[in-house]
Structure 1
Amino acid sequence: MKRKVIRQRHQEKAEEKPERKVYASNNVNKNLSLNDALDVFVTAKKAEGLRERTIAEYYRHITYLIEFIGSDIPLSELSSDLIRRYANYLLNEKLTYDKDERRKSKRIGLSPHTVNIRLRTLKTMCRFWYAEGYSDNNPMATVKPVKTDQVAEVQGLSDQQVRILLNNYDETSYAEWRDKTLVFLLLDTGLRINEAVTLTIDQIDFRRNMLNIPSERTKNRRYREVPVSLEVVQRLLELNQESQEYFGYSERIFTNAFGENYTADSFRKRLNRVKHKLGMDTLHPHQFRHTFAREYILSVGDIFTLQKILDHADIKTTRKYIQMDTDHIRSQHLNYTPTRKYLRKVKRNFPR
Structure 2
Amino acid sequence: MSRSVSMQVTTFDEALAVFIKDAKRRGLREFTITYYQRELNHFRTFLVSVGHSLFIHDVQRKHLEELVEDMQVRGLRTTTINSKLRAIRAFFHWLLENKYLAVNDLAKFPLVRDRKNSVETFTVKQLHALFNATDKRTFTGQRDYTFMMLLLETGIRLNESCGILIEDVKLSEGLVYS
2:139 pairs with 1:159: no
1:180 and 1:46, CA in 2 relative to 1: closer, same or farther beyond 3 A?
A: same
Deviation per CA, 1:213-256: give whole Å up to 9, x if none: 532xxxxxxx4329xxxxxxxxxxxxxxxxxxxxxxxxxxxxxx
2:18 pairs with 1:58: no
1:181 and 1:56, CA in 2 relative to 1: closer, same or farther beyond 3 A?
A: same
Matches within 5 A, 1:278-289: none
Structure 1 match to 2:19: 41
2:109 pairs with 1:148: no
- Structure 2 distance, partners of 1:35, 1:149, is 35
Structure 1 match to 2:170: 224
In structure 2, stretches of 5+ residues that fail to align are none
Q: Which amino acid aligns with 2:10?
A: N
Structure 2 match to 1:110: 77
| Deviation for aligned residue 1:163 | 3.5
The answer on whether the counterparts of 2:9 and 2:100 sit within 8 Å (CA) in structure 1 is yes
Count of aligned pairs: 163
- Structure 1 distance, partners of 2:144, 2:6, is 56
1:87 and 1:163, CA in 2 relative to 1: closer, same or farther beyond 3 A?
A: same
Q: Which amino acid aligns with 2:167?
A: P
| Deviation for aligned residue 1:64 | 1.8
The answer on whether the counterparts of 1:61 and 1:121 sit within 8 Å (CA) in structure 2 is yes
Determine which structure has greater relative contact order: mean sequence separation of CA pairs < 8 Å that are 6+ residues apart, divided by chain length: 2
| Deviation for aligned residue 1:197 | 6.2
Structure 2 match to 1:85: 66
Structure with the greater alpha carbon radius of gyration: 1
In structure 1, stretches of 5+ residues that fail to align are 1-23, 95-107, 172-176, 201-212, 216-222, 227-307, 313-352
| Deviation for aligned residue 1:164 | 7.8
Structure 1 match to 2:8: 29
- Structure 1 distance, partners of 2:58, 2:6, is 20
| Deviation for aligned residue 1:59 | 0.2
Decide which of 119, 126, 132 is 2:98's aligned counterpart: 132
2:175 pairs with 1:214: no
| Deviation for aligned residue 1:54 | 1.3
Q: Which structure features the higher share of helix residues?
A: 2
- Structure 2 distance, partners of 1:110, 1:124, is 20
Q: Which amino acid aligns with 1:81?
A: K
- Structure 2 distance, partners of 1:142, 1:198, is 31
1:151 and 1:42, CA in 2 relative to 1: closer, same or farther beyond 3 A?
A: farther
Structure 2 match to 1:185: 146
1:180 and 1:140, CA in 2 relative to 1: closer, same or farther beyond 3 A?
A: same
The answer on whether the counterparts of 1:126 and 1:140 sit within 8 Å (CA) in structure 2 is yes
| Deviation for aligned residue 1:137 | 3.1
1:224 and 1:30, CA in 2 relative to 1: closer, same or farther beyond 3 A?
A: closer
| Deviation for aligned residue 1:85 | 0.8
2:47 pairs with 1:69: yes
Deviation per CA, 1:276-304: give whole Å up to 9, x if none: xxxxxxxxxxxxxxxxxxxxxxxxxxxxx
Identity %: 17
| Deviation for aligned residue 1:126 | 0.9
| Deviation for aligned residue 1:79 | 1.2
Deviation per CA, 1:254-284: give whole Å up to 9, x if none: xxxxxxxxxxxxxxxxxxxxxxxxxxxxxxx
The answer on whether the counterparts of 1:30 and 1:134 sit within 8 Å (CA) in structure 2 is yes
Structure 2 match to 1:123: 89
1:179 and 1:196, CA in 2 relative to 1: closer, same or farther beyond 3 A?
A: farther
Tell me the TM-score normalized by structure 2: 0.66
- Structure 1 distance, partners of 2:124, 2:38, is 37
